Structure 1
Amino acid sequence: MRVHGAWLTDPGVQAVLAMLAEGGHQALIVGGAVRNALLGHDVSDIDIATDARPERVQQLAKAANIRAVPTGIEHGTVTLVVAAVGHEVTTFRRDVETFGRHAVVAFADNIVDDAARRDFTMNALYVDAAGNVIDPLGEGLADLAAGRVRFVGHPDDRILEDYLRILRFFRFTAWFGAPDAGVDADALAACAEHALGVEGLSRERVGAEMRKLLAAPNPAPAVTAMQTAGVLAHLLPGADARSLAPLVHFEAGRVPDWRRRLAVLGGKDVAEALRLARADARALDVLVTASRDDAPAAVLGYQFGADLGASALLARAALTGYAPSDGWQAELARGAGATFPLKAADLMAAVSGAALGARLKELEARWIASDFALTRAELLA
């Protein structure tokens, strides 16, 4: 089997592969790039694996006038810069000892050892410079074709190497798992067994994984499995996945928004638990609050804009089980286009200070309650 694409024929990639091969070493692209290429998805990050030791990689780069940066040399990674683009080259490795958040590794000489320490079988696939696909474990291609997300070897061993792999398992299930393949039973049991381990992960790592998971076209089955395994409760105490499937249904082909999906999950202190950026935390707060009240679509559009208002309305529908009323999109747009006819300067002759803001807010509330009908003159009167 062979793969093709501009990512493979890129001059920088080919230069690095040729440099290693001409030095007498194996040079293979591995992991996500191979998986995505086989699935017909976009390829972005390209990781290169080799049997050359880091010092040897640096020697070859120097001889080829390629800049080498020891970005993770203790883990065997050297970044080679070709035409201002960095290419990560990592020596084959095998695990010696694991601690749940990192592992002690030793360099390896063969591809089988390197493949055996990777997380999922569909990520243990390699491609040479000509595009030939190599499946050292003999499982990756079959699992990828069937949409089966499985750990390499025993799931417990892979999870103990890094508890983040629990979250990655559910993310990969959401993105690459076939609906009829279900969730791998052995992996799910191992995730349940080691669920407590996710509490030791940094909130930044957890937040990044959850954002990616919830951005999948339909994350509901994977998140439901996460709740069943007890993992969700350790990440977001009080969260409930039951409204996620209805939300995906009501979204009806809209662009997935992980914040909208997170809002229906709920849970205590979600923004802090996932260390969300300030803007995302504010949007999430709006969605949680607005989806749990009964403000009309036009009011949501006026208060939050058409996009955020739509998310709030869809989240409310998922939580209540009632589809938005007919014409809700037009109502959102009407509210989003409405402009309050008064400004603070209009009231300054009659009121000032803190009372000015309170009066303006009161009049705006009256205007909203009138379905945006009160005129400037009526409000001033």
Structure 2
Amino acid sequence: MVTVSGDWLTRPSTQAVCRMLEAAGYQALLVGGCVRNALLDAPVSDIDISTDARPDQVIKLAKASGLKAIPTGIDHGTITVVADGIAHEITTFRKDVETDGRRAVVAFSEHLEDDAHRRDFTMNALYAHADGRVIDPLGGLADLQQRRFRFIDDAEQRIREDYLRILRYFRFHAWYGDASAGMDPDALAAIAAHSGGLDSLSKERIGVEMLKLLGAPDPSPVIATMRQCGVLGHILEGADDRGLAPLVHLENTLEVSADPLRRLAVLGGQNVSVSLRLSNKYTQRLREMRDAASGVMGAAELGYRHDADLAVCALLLRSAWLEMPLPKSVMSEAKRGDQAEFPVRAADLIARFQGAALGAELRRIESRWIASDFQLSRDQLLS
């Protein structure tokens, strides 16, 4: 018998929520990412519970137990029950009645099998009792052991139910799949045939999935496959993934943490921020990275003019595009520039310069100071 364990499962709050349902005669089954990640020894964050209890019954039981119940998705059968500050998403067993590729009309069910068949991938249709015993209604354990991602039942039908599953397939494969084994050919054929359905999704949803995908340890094989089957160009016109693998290699060499935005910057493309509906903050940072990378400034000057993090990002991008090595010293150089303070102020020059001439002189002196590797003193610069 396969079991799962971990603090996420045995903590009193989660056990109390499960007991709340079971004591009333209902099922309480942990499901999806928490079970999958526990079996893969990956971190568990979100706690999802499937049950045959209806939403109104879940709310009633939670209140009787002194727990907070929030109807976060009551139309789709989901109630968030908060215990000890930890959110537990409890969803009634469901089966799809009608779908249009963006949203589904669902009916509640009393059968676990109905709930399992409406999920996306076999690896995500794994359930577990509160004591850790795993239920595998669709053969997901075998796929998980081989790190193989497969759509449940018919791939084309699963995609037509929700076109976001195209990107979720690639995202999950990037995080948990076996890159050396390749991807399921039936899945890729279905994706290629229905990639046009991505046009029906909101750009925000696409952007969220892309950033999650790019945060994987090495998303380059998956992104290359997305390009080959036409998905990458569909969502990011003009994107070029040739610099992604070199960038990931450089990040590992310098022991720099993965940055989805940096990896998005190396892909390029037209109107990226619009295509993915990025926030103003992300849009500005993306532009700063690419602008700094396209110049010739060294690590110290980039650190001084921007900040150490952006300086390292810019140099990583530049080296990835040019397929050139990058010494580890860029980290300390960028930090040194970030901490440097220009010793001359406008007040030092105001007696001799005014208006535009004052600004020009400040810039000239600053350039001398940077060219001296930040070594010239205030007196030397003013003499």
Bucket of the pairwise TM-score, normalised by the shorter protein: over 0.9
Q: Which moved more, 1:210-219 or 1:194-203?
A: 194-203
Counterpart CA distance in 1 for 2:274 and 2:366 is 33
Mapping of residues 251-266 of structure 1, within 5 Å: 251=251, 252=253, 253-266=255-268
CA shift at 1:327, angstroms?
A: 4.2
Counterpart CA distance in 2 for 1:373 and 1:65 is 66
Pair 1:163-2:163 in alignment: yes
Q: Which moved more, 1:168-177 or 1:8-17?
A: 8-17
Mapping of residues 23-34 of structure 1, within 5 Å: 23-34=24-35
**DSSP-derived class of the 1:291 partner:** helix
* Letter of the structure 1 residue corresponding to residue 299 of structure 2: A
- 1:104-146 deviation line (CA, Å, top 9, x unaligned): 1111111111011111111100010111011111x21111111
Corresponding residue for 1:349?
351
Q: What's the RMSD between the two structures over aligned residues?
A: 2.0
Corresponding residue for 1:289?
291
- 1:20-68 deviation line (CA, Å, top 9, x unaligned): 1122221101000001111111111101101122223233334444443
Counterpart CA distance in 1 for 2:84 and 2:376 is 63
In 2 relative to 1, CA 224–19 (structure 1 residues): closer, same or farther, beyond 3 Å? same
**DSSP-derived class of the 1:4 partner:** coil
Counterpart CA distance in 2 for 1:194 and 1:356 is 61
Corresponding residue for 2:154?
154
Corresponding residue for 2:304?
302
Gaps of 5+ in 1: none
* Letter of the structure 2 residue corresponding to residue 314 of structure 1: L
Pair 1:12-2:13 in alignment: yes
In 2 relative to 1, CA 194–324 (structure 1 residues): closer, same or farther, beyond 3 Å? same
CA shift at 1:330, angstroms?
A: 4.4
Gaps of 5+ in 2: none
Identity of aligned residues (%): 56
CA shift at 1:290, angstroms?
A: 1.8
**Number of residue equivalences:** 380
In 2 relative to 1, CA 17–289 (structure 1 residues): closer, same or farther, beyond 3 Å? same
In 2 relative to 1, CA 345–27 (structure 1 residues): closer, same or farther, beyond 3 Å? same
- 1:58-81 deviation line (CA, Å, top 9, x unaligned): 333344444433222111112223
Mapping of residues 300-339 of structure 1, within 5 Å: 300-324=302-326, 327-339=329-341
CA shift at 1:309, angstroms?
A: 1.1
TM-score, L = length of structure 1: 0.93
8 Å contact kept, 2:293–2:318: yes
**DSSP-derived class of the 2:306 partner:** helix
Counterpart CA distance in 2 for 1:60 and 1:305 is 52
**DSSP-derived class of the 1:307 partner:** helix
8 Å contact kept, 2:47–2:87: no
Corresponding residue for 1:86?
87
* Letter of the structure 1 residue corresponding to residue 168 of structure 2: R
In 2 relative to 1, CA 41–376 (structure 1 residues): closer, same or farther, beyond 3 Å? same
Q: Which moved more, 1:4-13 or 1:277-286?
A: 277-286
Corresponding residue for 2:226?
226
**DSSP-derived class of the 1:35 partner:** helix
Counterpart CA distance in 1 for 2:16 and 2:354 is 71
Counterpart CA distance in 2 for 1:67 and 1:377 is 66
In 2 relative to 1, CA 353–67 (structure 1 residues): closer, same or farther, beyond 3 Å? same
Mapping of residues 19-98 of structure 1, within 5 Å: 19-98=20-99
**DSSP-derived class of the 2:96 partner:** strand
